[in-house]
Chains A and B, each alone.
Chain A
Amino acid sequence: GAGVSQSPSNKVTEKGKDVELRCDPISGHTALYWYRQSLGQGLEFLIYFQGNSAPDKSGLPSDRFSAERTGGSVSTLTIQRTQQEDSAVYLCASSLGQATFNQPQHFGDGTRLSIL
């Protein structure tokens, strides 16, 4: 498809387990972003990849959160030892990048993560 694809769309797991969330950006987009959207809240920036530059991890809430982007395309967000407060919708977005400052971000439909 032409849009940003995220998988799984829903994930239910037990507290303490590790989870991996996947994002396939739009082909040719060099910038990729992860956000967290908790119930009734706005979008919380987590991490930003731009080309081959070191990622901006300034939004990761704890060291249990990490993300990789392999080959400049697919990205995985990993949450280790999940806690109930990690329950949220995790959104991925991509953009053309190149630091043009005005390129819109294109969002996937998100992964709804529920921690029991």
Chain B
Amino acid sequence: AQSVTQLGSHVSVSEGALVLLRCNYSSSVPPYLFWYVQYPNQGLQLLLKYTSAATLVKGINGFEAEFKKSETSFHLTKPSAHMSDAAEYFCAVSHPNTDKLIFGTGTRLQVFP
């Protein structure tokens, strides 16, 4: 069965510091993986997706994620946090044979000046 686990419901960093949001997946088939961001009172917006073309995926707003099969991980990183990055981040894995996504419980990122 497909599932994702996001370690850490809250992450706090200083502006300019490295952002690391963790996601581990479980999948019975080669997975497609996604990161979405949700700003307050808005829906989810796609940050990036992994579809097996390249293990290092670059997304919007300077974020990137690396697919590591040996670790079953797809952690999200950004070298230097900006105040505008404060939001909730969701990792998701696609369900086999459909477009359904299974979402993690989310990680709330706080950025301090």
- Note all chain B residues with C-beta closer than 8 A to A70: none
**Which residue in A56, A95, A101 is a CB contact (below 8 Å) of B32?**
A101
**How far apart are the CA atoms of A93 and B103 in the complex, in Å?**
13
Interface residues on A, range: 20 to 34
Number of interface residues of B (CB under 8 A): 25
The answer to whether A102 touches B90 (Cβ under 8 A) is no
Select which of B46, B99, B103 is within 8 A of A50 by beta carbon.
B99
Main secondary structure of the interface of B (DSSP, over half): loop
**Interface segment, B18-26, B37-45, B71-79?**
B37-45
A-B contact count (CB 8 A): 66
Q: Is B67 an interface residue (CB 8 A)?
A: no
Give the residue name and chain of the A residue nearest to B101 (CB).
A105
A56–B99 touching, CB < 8 Å: no
Residue of B36, B46, B99, B100 contacting most chain A CB atoms (<10 Å): B99
CA distance A100 to B51 in the complex (A): 11
Chain A nearest CB from B107 CB (Å) reads 10
Closest to B97 in A: A99
B42-99 with Cβ < 8 A to chain A: 42-46, 49, 51, 90, 94, 96-99
| A45 CB, nearest partner CB in chain B, Å | 7
A109 touches B100 (CB 8 A): no
Chain B residue with Cβ nearest A94: B99
B51 and A48 form a contact (CB under 8 A): no
**Which residues on A sit within 8 Å (CB–CB) of B49?**
102, 104
Tell which of B36, B45, B98 has the most Cβ of chain A within 10 Å: B98
Interface assignment of A107: CB less than 8 Å from any CB of chain B: yes
Residues on B with beta carbons closer than 8 Å to the beta carbon of A25: none
A18 to B34, CA, bound (A): 35
The 7 closest A-B pairs by CB, nearest first: A107-B43, A42-B105, A102-B51, A43-B103, A107-B44, A104-B46, A102-B32
A residues touching B (Cβ–Cβ < 8 Å)? 4, 31, 33, 35, 40-43, 45, 48, 50, 56, 91, 93, 95, 97, 99-110
